[in-house]
Amino acid sequence: MLMGGDAVDRRMESIRQEITNLVGREVYSNNGVFIGEVEDLRLDIDSNAVTGLALHRLNEDLFKDYVGDSRGIMVPYRWVRAVGDVVLVNDIIERVKQDEEE
């Protein structure tokens, strides 16, 4: 389906608003564990969709062995369960840490 100019402009404005709303949000697992803060987003320009969240200010207890000198991590957007005052993601990150400790 082809969109007219006004529809494309509205869709682009919607994407800009989504990006603005996500940047700076704290990210928690669905178990309530702090993961990090959204610094940026990865976008698929062809589909006009967010595909990942770039997180910084990470929970050091979860990530100190993974990130080394890097500034953060990229979380696939498919892991996002809810967006409100905070972003909730699957507990997959916690499970990786638990598997490693066992």
Q: 5-101: which CATH number, 3.20.20.70, 2.30.30.240, 2.30.30.90, 1.10.10.10?
A: 2.30.30.240
pLDDT band (50, 70, 90) for residue 98: low
Q: Give, in degrees to the nearest 5, the angle at Cα 31 between 25 and 37.
A: 20
Lowest pLDDT segment from 1-5, 67-71, 73-77, 80-84: 1-5
- What does pTM read for this prediction? 0.74
pLDDT band (50, 70, 90) for residue 1: very low
Q: Does 3 or 5 have the greater pLDDT score?
A: 5
Phi, psi of 16 (to 5 degrees): -60, -40
Rounded-to-integer distance, Cα 25 and Cα 33, Å: 14
Q: What is the pLDDT of residue 71?
A: 78
Listed by start position, the domains of the chain span 5-101
Contact between 28 and 89 (Cβ < 8 Å): yes
Percent share of the chain, pLDDT over 90: 36
Rounded-to-integer distance, Cα 75 and Cα 42, Å: 9
Tens of pLDDT, residues 49-78 = 889 999 999 998 888 777 777 778 899 999
